[in-house]
Structure 1
Amino acid sequence: MASNNRPNSQPPRDYSASARTGADQEYTYLAIGMVAGAIPGVIIGLLMAIPLGHAAMWVSVTGGIGILVGLLAGAVIYRRKRKRSL
């Protein structure tokens, strides 16, 4: 049976804490930011498609904008958090 090195078997509350290096932590913040931006972008795109039509176009445009905003927000949050910890 595999041994568990963690003191408890509950998942971490801060998923960036389980990353090993600074690059892994930054990647975690960027990935979470992308998902957090894409979900509202897709929903907004679908809502825009109701009166305007062309659902695929609006979902891709607003989803892409949401991903970019999420990437920028994730990078800013990571850098602020890293600055505070130093």
Structure 2
Amino acid sequence: MDEGTASPATSAPDISRMSFEEALAALEGIVQQLERGDVPLDQSIGLYERGEALRAACQQRLDAAQARIERIVTAADGRATGTAAFDTES
């Protein structure tokens, strides 16, 4: 591979060091590149792999944030009585 066709995974920032917002912006950029359809096949595959890694990192961060969310538990009269762990099924 020459310098002009460096793999997106080798020339891009380490995903683990990116904020959620940075990772999401990078993922959106990859999607736009792939949707344009003007990227060579080998580069498209590299972009897709990088995009999947970014998607997984974003999902992991969202899942971790959701696990920390607490909802307010209210009494019958509407007063807050405490908190409970966030439950997606309720």
Name the TM-score, length of structure 1 as normaliser: 0.40
Higher relative contact order (CA 8 A, sep 6+): 1
Query: Hey, which of these two has a bigger chunk of helix by percent?
Result: 1
Name the TM-score, length of structure 2 as normaliser: 0.39
Structure 1 or 2, whichever has the larger Rg, is 2
